[in-house]
Structure formats: C-alpha cells, structure tokens
Structure 1
C-alpha cells in the first residue's frame, strides 16, 4: 500500500505514506494554501467581512489561479464577446469566494490529516466523507503543477522520458505521483 490508496470498505480508503511522501504532500498543500490566499476576512477569518464580501470580477492573472478559477462563460483561448465577458464577470463575483473557500478548506483538511501522522510516516484512513475532500485537493495540486510545468495532455507521455538533469524532474515526479494517488483513491472508494 506504500504511497497509494486502498479500499478500507464502505467508501473509505487508507494510504500508507512514508515520512518523505507525507512531507512532500504536506509541503505542496501548504504552498496551495499560500497560492489561494486568505479568505475575504483575511487571516483572522472575520465572518462579518466574509458575509458581505463580493468576489473579483476579473480572472486571476496568475495562470495557475486562472486554471483553478476559470471563467464560466466564453472560450479562454479566444477573446469573447462583450456579453460573455459581462456574464463571466458577474458569475465570478458571486461564486469565486465560495470556490476559493472550498479549495482552501480541502487543502487545509489534507494538511491536518497529514499532521495526525506526527511528522512521520504511517497509515492514514479516510472515511467516506473525507475522501472527496482529498480528491479535490489532489486535483487542485495536479492542475497547478500542470500549469507551472506547462503540461498539455498530449505531452504527458513525454514526462516519463525526461533526463535526470532536467530541472523540472522533481516537480514532474510529484505530478505523476499525485496522479497515481488520485487514481488510486478513486478506485478505492468505488470498490
């Protein structure tokens, strides 16, 4: 079970992580939290500020954030008409903060789950309600790494052939491993 999920029955799953795997995963999730940023109430999470906050109307300029929070209308590859831009801005204003909060909560949930291992390796068991949070967080990590590495679907096979001295190799290895972890979790909860 090293580094991949297995079914623990009833929609739950378990994964055995060594110390290095747990550390890598935790570090990546902490970086995800930094990328997503604090909620509308800031680091203190002021519930009143969050209640009255409106989200941004423009897509993020960071390509990774734009991938995590894409426009709901129009084609991102081509400039869209004014009506599509306005609809996308309106939709973003009312949905992005909630989406950011969910992604932030999922990443934080993974960090806290990993913290139960006490900085060492061990077996982590997730119940059926926790598995979707892990799936979301793993997906967000893969999307972000894919953007940072400029990976297109058709290029993925070439990642296995990178020379060892390629500077991207460690991140590519993390990207591929996260894909295997995500796939194993999907298989585990479908058993």
Structure 2
C-alpha cells in the first residue's frame, strides 16, 4: 500500500481505517509487549518510568503519595487503550472513542520504543547496518501513524 492517509473521518462521523495487512500484522504484535512491560511494573525499567513519570523528583514522600493516587488509574488507562487497539486492529471503521484509544496506544508504543532506542530530538539518520535501524524505522512509522490519527481527530474540532 502506498503511503497515504490511513485514517479519515467519514460524513457519518465514524473513522475509516485504511491499513494494509502487513501494517495490521505489525501493529497486532505490539500491544501485548507493552502490556507485559507495564504489568511487570519494575520501577527501575526506564520504559516503565517513561509511561509513569515522576511528579516529584526530589521529594520521595510527595512522589510516593502522588503515585499512590494516580498509578492505578494511569495503569488502567494504558491497559484499556492497548486492549481497544488489539480488539479493533482488523476493523475498517472506528468510532471516536476507539480512535482516541488508538492515539493513546500509539503514544505508549512510541514512548516505550523511543526510550529503548534512546531517541532524542537531535537524532541523526542512521545507516541501515546500524542495529537500531529496524527499531528506528518502526519508531518513525508509529510517529507518522500517530500524526495521521491526530489529523483525523482535528477534523472534529
């Protein structure tokens, strides 16, 4: 499938999802990996820290209180977004709530992958022989797809 709009809002208010079989297969493989990571809740894992960022870096008590208040809710939000993506990966039409969940899930996938690859704003293009090249290509695709979702949602504003 050539690169083109993957998600567009229809006149009926739904969203048409246009992904190739290869894209769907690729995306199908990712949510379970992130769910496994967040369910492990190893606070030392940089990816987990990225998904559950600290609010108080220098105040242990305040940070513990904050995490006690929000961690379970944020964890459930991440799980639900990943579940919606898994359940609708083969759908041709999504409603707005499902599209918002896709946006969250794509963002979570990007955050984890970007953290694992040490992606930063000043990242230079890498040679195809670089062992990070496949991961960076996936990161670029997820970023592009996330942009497509944002643009489709903007049509409702």
Q: Which runs of 5+ in 1 are unaligned?
A: 39-55, 75-79, 118-122
Deviations 1:83-135 (A, max 9, x none): x2211111101211111111011101101111xx2xxxxx6221112111111
2:64 to 74, 89, 94: 89
State the shift of 1:7 in Å.
2.4
Distance in 2 (alpha carbons) for counterparts of 1:128 and 1:94? 28
CA contact (8 A) 1:2 1:17 kept: no
Q: Which residue of 2 aligns with 1:50?
A: none
Counterpart pick for 1:104 among 79, 86, 110: 79
| RMSD of Structure 2 on Structure 1 (CA) | 2.1
When residues 9 and 141 of structure 1 are mapped into structure 2, their CA distance, relative to the original with a 3 A threshold, is: farther
The structure number with the bigger radius of gyration is 1
Q: TM-score, normalised by structure 2?
A: 0.88
- Measured at CA, do residues 188 and 133 of structure 1 come closer, stay the same or move farther in structure 2, by a change above 3 Å? same
Q: Secondary structure at the match of 2:131?
A: coil
1:154, distance to aligned residue in structure 2 (A): 2.1
Long gaps (5+) in structure 2? none
**Residue equivalent to 1:24:** 26
Describe the superposition over 1:126-165 as per-residue Cα deviations: whole angstroms up to 9, x where unpaired: 111211111110000011011000011222xx2xx32112
Q: Name the TM-score, length of structure 1 as normaliser.
A: 0.73
- Cα distance change of structure 1 residues 20 and 187 upon mapping to structure 2, 3 Å threshold: same
Give aligned pairs, total. 153
Bigger relative contact order, structure 1 or 2, given CA contacts below 8 A and separation 6+?
Answer: 1
2:50 — aligned with what?
67
